[in-house]
Chains A and B, each alone.
Chain A
Amino acid sequence: MALLKVVDVERCVGCQLCMFACQRRLGLGGTSRAAIFPKSRGGLSRGLMVIVCRGCEDPSCAAVCPTGALKPRKGGGVIFLPHRCIGCGFCQEACPLGAIFWDEESNKPVVCIHCGICAQYCPHGVLAFEKEDK
């Protein structure tokens, strides 16, 4: 399975094309359902960071999910089963990266599915979609 990686965050210019690409995948404009979030490190002069799921092999978000709505995914990360989700928000609290976002409209988490579409739209070599050799 392939994983999305932030290969060099120092190259990030903060254009947020990744975030818009993630949202567009759902046939929407805007950003509320995007699972990747670039932001400054406290003022743009300090540069940027990209908050996104690292694809943990043993994910904390899945470990705390009381209903099994987040299942560890083969190769890293999680698979989200929305029908099981009760919107408790434990997953969001458990992720140390802050990479579980929240969709206020459905009251459910938004998490990266490692499809790699954001990497396709990153014009500056920050993101890559890589096959794991395991």
Chain B
Amino acid sequence: MLAQDPLKNVLYIDLSKRKFWIEPRPELFEEYLGGVGVGAALLEEECPEGVEPFSPEAPIILAVGPMVGFYPMASKTAALFKSPHTGNLGESHAGGRSAVSIRLAGLGAIVIKGASDIPVAINISENKVSFIDARALWGLGVGETGRILREKTGKPGARSIFRIGLAGENLSTFACVVTETYRHFGRLGLGAVFGSKKLKALVITGHKSLPVADKKAYHECYDKILKQILETDSLKKYHDLGTAVNVLSLNRKRSLPTKNLTQAWFEEAEKISGEYFAEHLLGRRLACAHCPVACIHLAALRIPYEDEPYFYKTSFISYDYELIYSLGSMLGVGKAEGILKILAKVDDLGLDAISAGVVLAWATEAFEKGLIGTKETLGLSPTWGAVEVYLEMLEHLARQSNEFYQTLAKGVEHASQRYGGEDFALAFGKNEMPGYHTGYGCHLGFLTGARHSHLDSAGYSYDQKLNVPEIGPEKLAELLFEEEAYRQILSSIIICFFARSIYKYEVISEALKAIGYDFSPEDLKALGQRILRRKYHFKLREGFSFEDLRIPKRILKTISPHGQLNEEFLRRGIETYKEILLKERL
């Protein structure tokens, strides 16, 4: 690490005392690069064993990595915290301008501790932190909060605005944090942790310079990487139709979870496909800072006011595959416009869209089966495709209007323990299921991934590329472990996973060298495994157990491209993954 590189600076903020200080921690970044690597180490330092996720003592760690501000698609921030949703390791990533703003404010990580007695926002610029009285912002939606802060705080173009909505304020355990209106720290409830600290928003501005070790090598390396990004077909796909391109292909393969996975294909898939959205609704495309791909697709939704003719409002709503799955096929909503309405509500309330959809899908089936009734739902009758009912339910959920909605606001694992319907409560490690029913690979990935997210490893991709039933659970678990370990490096330096085909160990090693970091491809490989083991060390410390992992019966019942899935296969996979993980000590 170059002596002048500001990555080593860790900003500590104590919300209880309204104090902040910076500690240079070069040793952390020299050992763990940044992002998830450094974040996991800081979490271990700062998070007391067994702490309640909403306790003032539970920290929020935000970390970026060395490649940010230097290379294309190095645009993510990793957040680490104790998840109120799972009661265990919380980790989510977001792009937008978050990472570049943090790095160019001269920081590598931010640790937020304590809790404020009144709602506050934090404003961070180069070498300065101020606390803003946010009492006037409490109770406002994500959109309005952003609009207000944008007027007075930070520098446009060089700033990131993190904020929460009603769901975070009211401590729904799957509340998210939104940055730049369209990017999210989505999963595992960071928004609720913000809420528990009365932290409504965090604005950070940065546009410093960063030193280069070898200018010639840096230029060459940059151009080589950018050329590959621009020439890669899979990335072009993300630019053209966006991730929504997956709707039709997964539907064709009978892998698109539909109506709470009572089926794995959707008769109305055409009407909610990436192609339909692009042709009829796409209004604008956007990029995260320093990313030429521009995968963010905004639909322009024009809605007439009922009370006056020729009076419309037009909203721009960002859509992606996962949200079309969770708020579309999963809820039996076969109209793109309907999905967008729900999505706009989910976004403004500040809920994780995947969990929100899966929770509503569970409630719909539980209602159908009579496990809950209109007494619980406050008079609403959820049925597949009932957009208006879902909109009202989401409002109740974010406000936690009664005991049922309070329970629902903690996720399907929690709700099914209270009301029954565990067999169709689609959660893995208590985290709601992502949009893939491609076979053994995806489900083993959800079960074993440290975040129980589809992005932990590449299970759904192995399902589509390899003959998974033939290679067997042991080999599959090995592949998933290797991929997850590799992704720890991506999320430490910290690169968007969409660029994973370009940033291989050798490329990363070379790119790092030009900016003063010396890691051989072998070092990186070993480090990835070490970071993953460290995360699991935390999980086990906080009570995670592989044996306790619940496999929802529904995934075994609904036919996948591998036929009917066998629980034994998945259990053997989990066992192998555990063995590989625990083979080496930290």
- A20 / chain B contacts, CB cutoff of 8 Å: 72, 290
A23 at the interface (CB under 8 A from B): yes
Q: Are B207 and A15 in contact (CB under 8 A)?
A: no
9 of the cross-chain contacts (CB-CB < 8 Å) are: A14-B287, A15-B294, A17-B290, A27-B212, A30-B207, A30-B210, A43-B146, A44-B180, A123-B230
Q: Are A27 and B181 in contact (CB under 8 A)?
A: no
CA separation between A121 and B298, bound complex, in Å?
A: 24
Q: Are B209 and A42 in contact (CB under 8 A)?
A: no
B222 at the interface (CB under 8 A from A): yes
B interface residue numbers (CB < 8 A to A): 69-70, 72, 100, 103-104, 146-147, 150, 156-158, 180-182, 207-212, 215, 218-219, 222, 226, 230, 284-292, 294, 296, 298, 315-316, 515
Q: Are B207 and A43 in contact (CB under 8 A)?
A: no
Q: Are A15 and B291 in contact (CB under 8 A)?
A: yes
Chain B, Cβ-Cβ closest to A29: B210
- A37 / chain B contacts, CB cutoff of 8 Å: 157
- B294 / chain A contacts, CB cutoff of 8 Å: 13, 15, 124
Chain B, Cβ-Cβ closest to A49: B157
CA separation between A42 and B292, bound complex, in Å?
A: 21
- B291 / chain A contacts, CB cutoff of 8 Å: 15
CA separation between A40 and B290, bound complex, in Å?
A: 15
Q: Are B69 and A29 in contact (CB under 8 A)?
A: yes
Chain A, Cβ-Cβ closest to B71: A29
Q: Are A32 and B298 in contact (CB under 8 A)?
A: no
Known: A13-B294, A15-B291, A123-B292. A28 touches B286 (CB 8 A): no
Q: Are A30 and B290 in contact (CB under 8 A)?
A: no
Q: Are B209 and A33 in contact (CB under 8 A)?
A: yes
Interface contacts (Cβ under 8 Å), in number, total: 92
10 closest residue pairs by CB, A with B: A39-B157, A29-B210, A45-B316, A15-B287, A13-B294, A27-B215, A29-B70, A30-B210, A123-B292, A30-B209
CA separation between A47 and B103, bound complex, in Å?
A: 25
A24 at the interface (CB under 8 A from B): yes
- A30 / chain B contacts, CB cutoff of 8 Å: 69, 103-104, 207-210
A75 at the interface (CB under 8 A from B): no
A125 at the interface (CB under 8 A from B): no
Q: Which of A15, A23, A43 contacts B209 (CB 8 A)?
A: A23
A60 at the interface (CB under 8 A from B): no
A14, A20, A121 — which one has the most chain B CB atoms within 10 A of its CB? A14
A38 at the interface (CB under 8 A from B): yes
Q: Are B150 and A42 in contact (CB under 8 A)?
A: yes
Interface 1/0 per residue, A67-86 and B, CB below 8 Å: 00000000000000000000
Q: A15-B294, A38-B157, A45-B315 are in contact. List 20 more A-B contacts (CB 8 A).
A: A13-B294, A15-B291, A15-B292, A16-B100, A17-B290, A20-B72, A20-B290, A23-B209, A29-B70, A29-B209, A29-B212, A30-B103, A31-B69, A31-B104, A32-B207, A37-B157, A40-B156, A42-B156, A43-B146, A44-B182
Chain B, Cβ-Cβ closest to A45: B316
Q: Which of B146, B289, B515 contacts A29 (CB 8 A)?
A: B515
Q: Which of B207, B211, B219, B292 contacts A17 (CB 8 A)?
A: B292
CB distance from B229 to the nearest CB of A (A): 9
CA separation between A33 and B316, bound complex, in Å?
A: 33
CA separation between A15 and B157, bound complex, in Å?
A: 11
Known: A45-B298, A45-B316. A15 touches B156 (CB 8 A): no
CA separation between A43 and B178, bound complex, in Å?
A: 13
- A123 / chain B contacts, CB cutoff of 8 Å: 230, 292
Q: Are B209 and A32 in contact (CB under 8 A)?
A: yes
B146, B285, B515 — which one has the most chain A CB atoms within 10 A of its CB? B285
CA separation between A47 and B296, bound complex, in Å?
A: 13
CA separation between A28 and B4, bound complex, in Å?
A: 12
Known: A27-B215, A30-B208, A32-B208. A39 touches B156 (CB 8 A): yes
Q: Are B181 and A44 in contact (CB under 8 A)?
A: yes
CA separation between A105 and B212, bound complex, in Å?
A: 17
Q: Are A31 and B212 in contact (CB under 8 A)?
A: no
Interface 1/0 per residue, A96-108 and B, CB below 8 Å: 0000000001000
Chain B, Cβ-Cβ closest to A27: B215
CA separation between A47 and B283, bound complex, in Å?
A: 10
CB distance from B326 to the nearest CB of A (A): 22
CA separation between A15 and B215, bound complex, in Å?
A: 23
- B298 / chain A contacts, CB cutoff of 8 Å: 45
Chain B, Cβ-Cβ closest to A101: B207
Known: A15-B289, A45-B316, A124-B294. A28 touches B209 (CB 8 A): yes
